[in-house]
Structure 1
Amino acid sequence: MKALQIDFFLAYRNIVGQKRRSAIAVSATAFGIIALILATGFVEWIFWGMREGTIDSQLGHIQISRPGYQEAGKADPYTYLLPDAIPELESGNELRQIKAVVPRLSFGGLISHGDTTLSFIGDGVTPQEQVFFGKSLQILAGQNLSVDDPKGIILGAGLGHNLNVNIGDKVVLLASTASRGVNAVEVTVRGLFSTVNKSYDDIALRMPIATARQLLRVKGSHVWVVLLNNTAKTDTVLQRLHGALQKRDFEAVPWYVLADFYNKTVALFTKQIHGLKLIIALIIVLTISNAMTMSVMGRIGEIGTDMALGARRIDVLRRFLSEGILLGCFGGLMGVTIGVGLATVISSIGIPMPPPPGMARGYTGEILVTWNIALESLLLAIGTTLIASIYPAWKASRMQVVDALRHNR
């Protein structure tokens, strides 16, 4: 331990003694880490925004349904109806992470306004649901669903535009019933909404679940949507629900199984971030390797004197590796500190972004720096500088004492 302390002390003295060379190495490392933190933090914020937007506007954290509904429910939805109430969920007070549990009845059909008829996918929901799920569902015109207006519906902005409807217009919904018949109901357009997914807004509508049951002539619902206080607790609550619900009667599916678009986006962006990390690592390796090689070449006589006084080859190797580690620590800490500060300033200002492909509206981006991002960036700086120091350190340790002493003569 004492030898290690001496190695790091001597490494620190060497770094301070070669201010220009050390400053270049530390600056290159810091700039690489700053770029990595800002890029990774921006992508992390995109992941967070997509995740929470998908959960709040569509999926919830957990969906409880009949076994097999998620796979085959679209083809035969009436086989998978749930009862009006699930006693196991009514005792959910012991599950303190649960914020709300609401029923949903999903269906499809035709919507007509004037001479225009289009297909739609609909959700029968409780009007009170907007209190819990309304953060990512933006009402662009009119009002949201109301308990006082059971015949009022809201349309996705794209669907409303294609139908050329205005707030207060009457439309007719046509759908297949549970008895394989056809039923229709006349409803009023209360509002137009927008979510994070434009393709969903082009075909979606929402209506009070009581009216949806009347249209389909059914009781119950297809899913019970569970909203939690914290997305990170999804797996914990899921395990408790698996223990509370009868597996033969109910199936609990978490949001990340249902969010296909989100999962594919995360997979794509994660690969891009890995590529960025590799590029930054190569830049740091080349910079530190060059700095360490120049340091070795400029201290050949010093190395020879050190070895002549009894220093072993392993001691020389260890001291140069310690110098590389310190350069990585200084550059990494500087990069993390500046990167976090810049992320905070940029986030307070905001990053105006246009609507991405498949999205309905633009957004103001931010940079979300987590502890994992900061720690991974610091470890990347230290790890790459250590790797970059191996060859120069090995080269210094393999010098012949006599040749090294003659070098300055």
Structure 2
Amino acid sequence: MPTVGLRTATRNLWRNASRTTIAILAVAGGVVAFLLSGGFIEWIFQDMRESTIHSQLGHIQVVRPAYFDKGIADPYAFLLPAESPEQALIERTPGVVSLAPRLAFSGLASHDEATIAFIGEGVDPRRERPISTRLTITLGRDLTDASEPAVLVGEGLARSLGVTPGATVVLLTTAANGSPNALELTVVGTFATVSKEFDDRALRLPIALARKLMRVDGATSWVAVLDKTERTAEVVQTLRAGLPGKGFEIVPWTALADFYNKTVVLFTKQISVVKLIIGLIIVLTISNTQMMAVLERTTEIGTSLAIGQRRRVVMRTFITEGLLIGVLGGISGLLLACLLATIITAVGIPMPPPPGMARGYVAQIVITYSLAADALVLAFTTTLFASVLPAWKASRMNIVDALRYNQ
């Protein structure tokens, strides 16, 4: 963009400062609205992702091939060994913080007159601790000893059974060999995760007791947690290259988080609609501003064309003015949105429980680099698009009619 053209466009905008200010504020307001709404959804994505990973799934699960397709019907046909060299290999992989075995099972939990179906997990309390940092203990305490006859119960299941920490429950299951088995355990605490449906059915106990209950020796899955969620794809690729494919299947958390994936799709569509609406508002505002400028400067445009100024120069001048409005409005909106996001995040946004969750939460706003870039691109492209038609009309004026416009 030539310096002279930029200087001329700047001077033209300054000549009607009030209209220019309104146009810049319109762009800035659109950018602020887009960033605050997008930043709120981005925080929801991040918080739900980390809650899903650190309360249930971990970053990566290692299972036998086809376990998630066929293992529900017969999980003990897909057991991993209790100890193996592959575990040490996974733990040595860069990025892996902890690897914990889990044994999935199901049965009936009884307390007094209540009997409720449950889904259970046998876990190693020590190895599980870095993985389950988002597992909220609502009453009592977490599992601490690998050998204590204790059980940690989801708060919904505890409510249905009518148990609190200190109560005794009896777990009734059908062992892997087909025989019935039972185990009496003491409830040490209740927990909550991101999923109310899971909390209504789930319980945890030390994996040694789960193996005794199911009469097996092994695990249905090994769950790995990483130092950074962003490294998931990299570590998955490394493990798939290092472990034999016939014996092990490496499953990232994204393949298991169905509720999270559907939420991302839904909210992404919503933010796209918001982006479209804001874009239309900016286009209409800037187009109207530029058309008013063309009408006010009709005689001036005619004079310029009469003394030999090329039509493409006139068109370029108006487009440059629109781009300047987009740049100023976009940057102003970005700075204002960052300030407001900081203030709102410090205060917090109290939210009611969404569908599928038992309790509300305090939301925040996270403006990422990609979101900021999208906002600036939105400001630039919409003002550029809005300036094209007024600029084209200005450049195509009939010189004689333009010179006689105000006479």
Q: Does 1:311 align with 2:309?
A: yes
- Structure 1 CA distance, aligned partners of 2:86 and 2:164? 43
8 A Cα contact 2:43 2:363, kept in partner? yes
Cα-to-partner distance string for 1:315-372 (whole Å, 9 max, x where unaligned): 1111111111110111111101000110011101111111111102111110011001
Q: Which residue of 1 aligns with 2:220?
A: 222
- Residue in structure 1 matching 2:85, options 84, 87, 92: 87
Q: Which residue of 2 aligns with 1:365?
A: 363
8 A Cα contact 1:158 1:198, kept in partner? yes
- Structure 2 CA distance, aligned partners of 1:240 and 1:85? 21
Counterpart code for 2:106: G
Alignment map for 1:5-44 (pairs within 5 Å): 5-44=3-42
- Where does structure 1 differ by over 4 angstroms across 4 or more consecutive aligned residues? none
- Structure 2 CA distance, aligned partners of 1:145 and 1:279? 51
Q: Percent identity?
A: 50
Counterpart code for 1:77: P
Q: Which residue of 1 aligns with 2:334?
A: 336
Q: Does 1:346 align with 2:306?
A: no
Q: Which residue of 1 aligns with 2:61?
A: 63
Cα-to-partner distance string for 1:183-224 (whole Å, 9 max, x where unaligned): 111111010111111111110000000000000000110111
8 A Cα contact 1:101 1:226, kept in partner? yes
8 A Cα contact 2:131 2:224, kept in partner? no
Pair 93,65 (structure 1): closer, same or farther in 2 beyond 3 Å? closer
| SS of match in other structure, 1:211 | helix
| SS of match in other structure, 1:146 | coil
Displacement after TM superposition at 1:247 (Å): 0.4
| SS of match in other structure, 1:91 | helix
- Structure 2 CA distance, aligned partners of 1:334 and 1:148? 57
Q: Which residue of 1 aligns with 2:234?
A: 236
RMSD (CA atoms) = 1.2
- Residue in structure 1 matching 2:373, options 369, 375, 399: 375
TM-score by length of 2: 0.98
Q: Which residue of 1 aligns with 2:207?
A: 209
8 A Cα contact 2:35 2:375, kept in partner? yes
8 A Cα contact 2:169 2:184, kept in partner? yes
8 A Cα contact 1:124 1:211, kept in partner? yes
Alignment map for 1:239-258 (pairs within 5 Å): 239-258=237-256
Displacement after TM superposition at 1:166 (Å): 2.2
- Structure 2 CA distance, aligned partners of 1:55 and 1:224? 14
8 A Cα contact 1:69 1:80, kept in partner? yes
Q: Which residue of 1 aligns with 2:170?
A: 172
Q: Does 1:195 align with 2:224?
A: no
8 A Cα contact 1:196 1:361, kept in partner? no
Q: Which residue of 1 aligns with 2:160?
A: 162
- Residue in structure 1 matching 2:101, options 85, 99, 103: 103
- Structure 2 CA distance, aligned partners of 1:77 and 1:314? 73
Q: Which residue of 1 aligns with 2:387?
A: 389
| SS of match in other structure, 1:46 | helix
| SS of match in other structure, 1:99 | strand
Displacement after TM superposition at 1:126 (Å): 0.5
**Larger deviation, residues 170-179 vs 249-258:** 170-179
